[in-house]
Chains A and B, each alone.
Chain A
Amino acid sequence: MAEILLDVKNLRVEATSYPPGEPPKNVVIVDDVSLTLAKGRVLGLIGESGAGKSTIGLTSLCYGRGGARISGGTIVLNGRDIRTIDAPAMRKLRGSEVAYVAQSAAAAFNPSHRLLDQVVEVSVQKGILSRREAEARAIELFGKLKLPNPETIGQRFPHQVSGGQLQRAMTAMALCPKPDLIVFDEPTTALDVTTQIEVLAAIKHAINLEDTAALYITHDLAVVAQVADDIMVLRHGKMVEVGTTEQIIKRPQQEYTQRLVSVRKIGREESPPTAQPVLEVRNITAAYANGLTVLSEVSVEVRRGQTLAVVGESGSGKSTLARVITGLLPPSEGDVLYHGKPMPRALKQRNKEQLRVLQMIYQMPDTAMNPRQTVELMIGRPLEFYFGLGGKERRQRVIELLDQIEMGAKFLDRYPAELSGGQKQRVCIARALAAKPELVICDEPTSALDPLVADEILKLLLRLQADTHVSYLFITHDIATVRAIADAIAVMYQGRVVRYGPKSEVLSPPFDDYTDLLLSSVPEMELGWLEQVLSRRRMAAAGN
Chain B
Amino acid sequence: MLRWRDLSLNARVGLVGAVFFVLFAYLGPLFSPHNPNEVLGNTWEPSSGKMLLGADSLGRDLLTRLMYGTRLSIELAGAATIISFLLGVTLGFTAAVLRGWFDQVMSRVVDLLMSIPTLIFALVLLSMMPRTGLVLVLVTAVLDSTRPFRLSRAVALDIAVQDFVEAARLRGERTRWIVTREILPNALTPLVAEFGLRFAFIMLFLSSLSFLGLGIQPPEQDLGRMIRDNREGIVYGISAALWPGAIIALLALSVNLVVDAILNRTTSLKGGRGG
Contacts and interface: CB of A to CB of B under 8 A. Distances in A.
A362 B268 CA distance: 26
Interface of B: 162-164, 166-167, 169-173, 181-182, 185-186, 268-273
Contacts of A416: 271
Given A369-B164, A370-B182, A382 B171 contact: yes
A367 B172 contact: no
Given A20-B268, A415-B271, A355 B170 contact: yes
A418 B270 CA distance: 9
In the A-B complex, the 6 residue pairs with the closest CB atoms: A417-B271, A372-B185, A368-B163, A355-B172, A367-B163, A370-B164
- Which of B166, B171, B268 lies at the interface centre, i.e. has the most chain A CB atoms within 10 A of its CB? B171
A486 to B, nearest CB: 24
Nearest to B164: A370
Contacts of A347: 169-170
Contact of A371 (B167, B171, B181, B272): B272
Contacts of A355: 170-172
A364 interface: yes
A372 B186 contact: yes
A19 interface: yes
Interface string A340-380: 00000001001010010011101010011111110000000
B273 A371 contact: yes
A362 B182 CA distance: 17
B273 to A, nearest CB: 6
Contacts of B163: 362, 364, 367-368
A188 B195 CA distance: 46
Given A368-B162, A370-B186, A417-B271, 9 more contacts: A20-B268, A355-B171, A358-B170, A367-B162, A368-B167, A371-B273, A382-B171, A415-B271, A418-B270
- Which of B170, B182, B185, B271 lies at the interface centre, i.e. has the most chain A CB atoms within 10 A of its CB? B170
Interface string A406-438: 000000000111100000000000010001000
B129 to A, nearest CB: 41
A326 B170 contact: yes
Nearest to B3: A21
A371 to B, nearest CB: 5
A385 interface: yes
Contacts of B186: 370-372
Contacts of B164: 367-370
B172 A352 contact: yes
A428 to B, nearest CB: 8
B181 to A, nearest CB: 8
B172 A362 contact: no
A328 interface: yes
Contacts of B162: 367-368
Interface in A251-293: none
A381 interface: yes
A88 to B, nearest CB: 34
A362 B165 CA distance: 12
Contacts of A417: 270-271
B29 to A, nearest CB: 39
- Which of A19, A20, A326, A360 lies at the interface centre, i.e. has the most chain B CB atoms within 10 A of its CB? A20
A416 B269 CA distance: 13
A417 B185 CA distance: 15
Contacts of B171: 355, 381-382, 385, 435
B172 A370 contact: no
B99 to A, nearest CB: 12
A431 B171 CA distance: 11
Contacts of A381: 171
Interface string A1-32: 00000000000000000111000000000000
Nearest to A350: B172
B172 A19 contact: no
B60 to A, nearest CB: 50
A507 B249 CA distance: 75
22 contacts: A326-B170, A328-B169, A347-B169, A347-B170, A355-B172, A360-B167, A360-B170, A362-B163, A367-B162, A367-B163, A370-B164, A370-B181, A370-B185, A370-B186, A371-B186, A371-B271, A372-B185, A372-B186, A373-B181, A385-B172, A385-B173, A418-B270
Contacts of A19: 270
Nearest to A417: B271
A289 to B, nearest CB: 12
Contacts of A370: 164, 181-182, 185-186
Nearest to A364: B163
A395 B170 CA distance: 23
Contact of B269 (A20, A359, A364): A20
Nearest to B187: A372
Interface string A228-271: 00000000000000000000000000000000000000000000
Contacts of B172: 350, 352, 355, 385
Contacts of B181: 370, 373
A19 B270 CA distance: 7
Contact of A18 (B166, B167, B185, B268): B268
Contacts of A368: 162-164, 167
Contacts of B270: 19-20, 415, 417-418
Nearest to B167: A368
Nearest to A377: B181
A385 B181 CA distance: 14
B122 to A, nearest CB: 37
A20 B167 CA distance: 29
B263 to A, nearest CB: 15
Nearest to B265: A20
Nearest to B273: A371
